[in-house]
Homo-oligomer: A and B are copies of this chain.
Amino acid sequence: MSQRLFNFSAGPAVLPVEVLEEARDNMLSLGDTGIGIMEHSHRGKAFVGVLAQTEADCRKVGNIPDNYRVLFLQGGASSQFFTIPMNFLSSGDTADYLVTGAWSKKAVSQAKRFGTPHEAASSSDRNFSYIPKTASYSDNPKYVHFTSNNTIFGTQWAAEPEPPSGVPLICDASSDIFCRPIDVQKYRLIYAGAQKNLGPSGVTLVIIHDDLVKAGALDIPEMLQYRTHAENDSCYNTPPTFGIYIMGLVFQWILKQGGLEKVEQANREKAAVLYDHLRESPLFEATADEDSRSLMNVTFVTGNPDLDAKFIAAAKDQGFDGLKGHRSVGGMRASIYNAFPKQGVEELVKFMKDFESQNG
């Protein structure tokens, strides 16, 4: 095997080595079953056990109450963008969206097909470089939707927004789920594509309160109703078994780290290495406001696109992969999800210092 690079990809992204090794070792036979993990029937004892353990560990990691359902779906966050308004909005209904980047905007655009989305807050005035402090909610929104972390713009909500009393809070947590403890009871629905903090692309975690399961539309295809998947324990149709298995290994890895408190501590220390350097760097500058900076995606620039490109190319040569920022921000983006090792950030900062001295 080649030496592993420091993979700063925004997603699909780095996974814990222990998880990859475990998956590798179960490829031709899951434990002593004599059948590889991908080859097990989703109705068979072995996979039913994997699914039950994965759900149980997810509940343990997230401290998820019994009146929430944990679902493993397909289609990514992009499918949730339309499935949510399809289920909970009717023509004439309003839903409030807090718009903090490209993904929030996509969610808004899908809601327009089913009802009237209201942008209760937006940070578009300064290219989404901050999290709004206030929101002007509509009179009677069906729900409030926000994106907890914005991969492209390197911002993250420090705490949940406060929706009007009694209004369900819905969160796209694709890029920061389980990066820190989460108070699930503040939400009615949390969804996350797996490919940043949870596993491979192709499986979406949905944590949904029983009330919303019941409230969903009945006149839409069964596959798009949350109740279908809740009533069938995510096995109405064949679920993405391998992705669920990997997610289960990631949950076990989180528990082995000591749970989300420990994971948050590690993430804060890791991000601080980079943000502390950016504060004092003579060359590089963080693009997000100080109080809005993400623990998961650190965006920074030199202010000179040619120098950015030079840095990215030089870094790649040294084994720092995936640092190119999204075209809407430019510059660099270091995605440092749960599984990204602190050593990688420390070595990146060393490399940045070298680059500064040579290009100062």
Q: A1-B28, A38-B12, A76-B238 are in contact. Are A203 and B201 (CB under 8 A)?
A: no
Q: Is the CB of B5 within 8 A of A33?
A: yes
Distance of A133 Cα from B222 Cα, bound (Å): 32
Inter-chain contact B40/A12, CB cutoff 8 Å: yes
Pick from A140-148, A239-247, A274-282 the stretch touching chain B. Answer: A239-247
A-side interface mostly: loop
A341 CB, min distance to chain B CBs, angstroms: 13
Assess whether A90 is interfacial by the CB under 8 Å rule: no
For A243, what are the chain B residues with a Cβ–Cβ distance below 8 Å?
A: 202, 240, 242
Scan A189-208; emit 1 where CB is below 8 A from any B CB, else 0: 00001010001111100000
CB of B79 within 8 A of CB of A223, answer yes
Determine the distance from Cα of A2 to Cα of B26 in the docked complex, in whole angstroms.
Answer: 10
**Does A75 lie at the interface of the complex (its beta carbon under 8 Å from any beta carbon of B)?**
yes
- Complex contact A223–B44 (CB within 8 A): no
Verify if A299 is at the interface (C-beta below 8 Å from B): no
For A29, give the chain B residue with the smallest CB separation.
B2
Whether A78 and B241, one on each chain, are in contact in the complex, defined by CB atoms closer than 8 angstroms, is: no
A336 to chain B, nearest CB (A): 14
Closest B residue to A40 using CB positions:
B12
Nearest CB in chain B: distance from A75 CB, A: 5
A residues 194-228 in Cβ contact with B at 8 Å: 195, 199-203, 219-224
Bound state CA distance, A312 and B199, in angstroms?
36
Contacts of A60 in B (CB 8 A): none
Q: Provided the pairs A27-B20, A38-B246, A322-B44 are in contact, do residues A78 and B9 lie with their beta carbons within 8 angstroms?
A: no
